[in-house]
Structure 1
Amino acid sequence: MNIDLSRRGFMKLAGAGVAATSLGAMGFGEAEAAEAAHVRAFKLASTTEVRNTCTYCSVACGILIYSKGDVAAGEKAEIVHIEGDADHPTNRGTLCPKGAALKDTVHAQTRLTEPRIRRPGADRFESISWDEALDKIARALKDDRDTNMILQNDAGVTVNRWTTTGFLAASATTNETAWLTYKTVRAMGIVGFDNQARV
Structure 2
Amino acid sequence: MNVEVSRRRFLKGAGAGVAGTSLAAMGFGEAEAAVAAHVRPMKLANTTETRNTCPYCSVACGVIIYAKGDVRKGERADIVHIEGDADHPTNLGTLCPKGAALKDFVHAPTRLQYPMVRRPGSDKFERVSWDAALDRIARLMKDDRDANFLASNQEGTAVNRWTTTGMLAASATTNETAWCTFKVAKALGIVGFDNQARV
Aligned position for 2:193: 193
Any unmatched runs of 5+ in structure 1? none
Change (3 A) 1:117 1:183: same
Change (3 A) 1:25 1:132: same
Contact kept? 2:24, 2:32, Cα under 8 Å: no
What residue identity is the alignment partner of 1:128?
Answer: V
Aligned position for 2:114: 114
State how far apart, in whole Å, the 2-side matches of 1:179 and 1:147 are. 27
TM-score where L is the length of structure 1: 0.85
Any unmatched runs of 5+ in structure 2? none
Aligned position for 2:17: 18
Counterpart mapping for 1:167-186 below 5 A: 167-186=167-186
Contact kept? 1:105, 1:111, Cα under 8 Å: yes
The alignment partner of 1:119 has SS state of: coil
The alignment-based identity, stated in percent, is 65
Counterpart mapping for 1:128-167 below 5 A: 128-167=128-167
The alignment partner of 1:123 has SS state of: coil
State how far apart, in whole Å, the 2-side matches of 1:4 and 1:64 are. 53
State how far apart, in whole Å, the 2-side matches of 1:158 and 1:33 are. 70
State how far apart, in whole Å, the 1-side matches of 2:129 and 2:23 are. 58
Higher-Rg structure is 1
Aligned position for 2:71: 71
Contact kept? 2:65, 2:82, Cα under 8 Å: yes
Note the aligned Cα RMSD (angstroms).
3.0
For these two proteins, the number of residue pairs brought into alignment is 196
Cα offset, 1:44, TM superposition: 1.8
Aligned position for 1:102: 102
What residue identity is the alignment partner of 1:55?
Answer: P
Q: Which deviates the most, 42-51 or 103-112?
A: 42-51
Contact kept? 1:85, 1:91, Cα under 8 Å: yes
State how far apart, in whole Å, the 2-side matches of 1:125 and 1:115 are. 10
Runs of 4+ in 1 over 4 A off after TM superposition: 3-8, 23-30, 33-36, 38-41
Cα offset, 1:7, TM superposition: 6.4
Kindly provide the CA deviation profile for residues 139-192 of structure 1, in whole angstroms up to 9, marking residues without a partner as x: 000011111111111111111111111111111111111100000000111111
